[in-house]
Structure 1
Amino acid sequence: MLTPRHQALLMTLAGMTVGVAVFGTVLAINGNGDDDQRSTDVVTSQTSPTPTPRGDGLQADSLQYAAQTFGTDRSPVSAEVPVTWKAHQDGERPRFLDPTGVWQIRFDTRGSSKSPERQVSDRERSIKEEQLNVLSRDNGTLVYTYVDKARGPRMGLSRWISTDNGDSSAIEITVGGRPQDEAALRDVLERATRSLHLPDAGSRPN
């Protein structure tokens, strides 16, 4: 038979056992919570950002045009070019660049005794750029792509215009940009061709 002293001792031991069990359960719960949080943090830190889609290129309907005059005082030439493309060279071989330097149009008003078809062939052979790919060479116009070491893929459209039924070339117009800008580059070339005014050949070359 237990004495009152022994009963009190047993009750004390039982209470301590329950306390330890409860404390261990609390630690287990807290420990699991920390593990879950650490796991979430790792997953979050490894999530890749969503890539930003690339643009579709220069849009033809975003361009506005204005006439520019160049050439010489005795033989002035004019044509319409995009208003934000500024002259970086004048005279007989003017060049107009957009503010970013990505797109340009240039003219060569010196003329040549070579026909437009001959000019196309000669230009094609003279291009030394990497990965040259000629897309077309019709009607005195050479369309091609290449890879520039500094700027990446590029596109050029060069046109020679005759005022004597193709016997010689009066002027060259070249437009440059990127392959994704092709529709707008063609629009720039056509606009310059339609608006071209040469001193000795009327305002609309054939």
Structure 2
Amino acid sequence: MLTPRHQALLMTLAGMTVGVAVFGAVLAFNGNPLAGDDTPAGIVNSQPAASTPARTDGLQPDSLQYAVQTFGSADAPVSAEVPTGWKSSQAGTRPRFLDPTGVWQLRFDTRGSKQSPDELVAARARSINERDLKVISRDNGTLIYTYVDQTRGPRMGLSRWISTDGGTSSAVEITVGGRPQDEAGLRAILQHATDTLQLPPSAGDTRPN
């Protein structure tokens, strides 16, 4: 026969068993919030912030300064202003000025042609053999196009032919190159080179066809 003390102990154990069972049932219904959670106490998990997009700003006109460069031939020197710090790896009638990073370039061809600027625009558009070539415009003796270079990725080119006889023939070609996001800067360089171009007095027509 159980004594009153033994009866009280059994009632206490029974109560604890019921409590554990109820707590287990609650966890089963709501899910265990502690399972698989390594977050220290006091720290609330949240969705990771979206990554900041990489800067895609291209070459800007207001970042450019210019200096005069002379090229051409001894008998027919030509000059124009090119961006400061850009160096040419070759002189003569076809200099090509590169920025220190090699991303942008400015090229001149002073040999001239008996073809008109519009004819040369059409010929250049047909001759470009690059992947994903897209001609953007071909107005006023200027060809603007984009393509994808196998090594450097998306590229943009702007070529302009300058006439000194009303468009009958072409005296100089100016070409700038860079990336599509550099368009504003490339246009500024092309226009500045055009505005500052100094040609020698004509001394007979020695231009190729």
Per the TM superposition, whether the score is higher than 0.5 is yes
One-letter identity of the residue aligned with 2:176: V
* Cα shift at 1:76: 0.7
**What is the rounded CA distance, in whole Å, between the counterparts of 1:143 and 1:200 in structure 2?**
29
- Aligned match of 1:96: 97
Q: Which amino acid aligns with 2:165?
A: D
Q: Deviations over 1:32-88 (max 9, x none)?
A: 9x8676256xx98x9587244223211100000010001111111000000021112
Alignment partners' CA distance in 2, 1:69 and 1:55: 34
Within a 5 Å distance, the mapping from 1:135-154 to structure 2 comes to 135-154=136-155
Q: Alpha-carbon deviations, 1:159-200, whole Å to 9, x = none?
A: 001111111111100000111111111110000000000112
CA–CA distance in structure 1, aligned partners of residues 154 and 82 of structure 2: 23
How far apart, CA to CA, are the structure 2 residues paired with 1:87 and 1:176? Answer: 14
Task: Provide the aligned C-alpha RMSD in A.
Answer: 3.2
CA distance in 2, matches of 1:83, 1:138: 29
Comparing 52-61 with 144-153, greater Cα deviation is found at: 52-61
Matched residues in 1 for 2:98 and 2:76: separation? 23
1:183 to 2:163 alignment: no
CA distance in 2: counterparts of 1:138 and 1:87, whole angstroms: 28
The 1-side partners of 2:149 and 2:70 are apart by 30
Counterpart position of 1:86: 87
Shift of residue 132, structure 1, vs aligned partner = 0.9
Distance in 2 between residues matched to 1:109 and 1:190, nearest whole Å: 17
- Which whole-Å CA distance do the structure 2 matches of 1:146 and 1:172 have between them? 20
- Off by >3 Å, runs of 4+ in structure 1: 34-37, 46-49
TM-score (norm 1): 0.76
Give distance in 2, aligned partners of 1:48 and 1:148. 34
- Correspondence for 1:193: 194
Partner amino acid, structure 1, of 2:155: R
TM-score where L is the length of structure 2: 0.75
SS at match of 1:189: helix
Between 49-58 and 176-185, report the one with greater CA deviation. Answer: 49-58
Listed as ranges, the gaps of 5+ residues in structure 1 are: 1-31, 202-206
1:84-105 Cα distance to aligned partner (Å, 9 max, x none): 2111221110000111111110
Write the letter of the residue equivalent to 1:69: T
Tell me the SS of whatever aligns to 2:106: strand
Structure 1 position 143, deviation (Å): 0.7
- SS across alignment from 1:193: helix
Residues 1-206 of structure 1 mapped to structure 2, 5 A cutoff: 38-39=38-39, 47=48, 50-200=51-201
Count of aligned pairs between the two proteins: 194
Extract unaligned runs of 5+ from structure 2.
1-31, 203-209
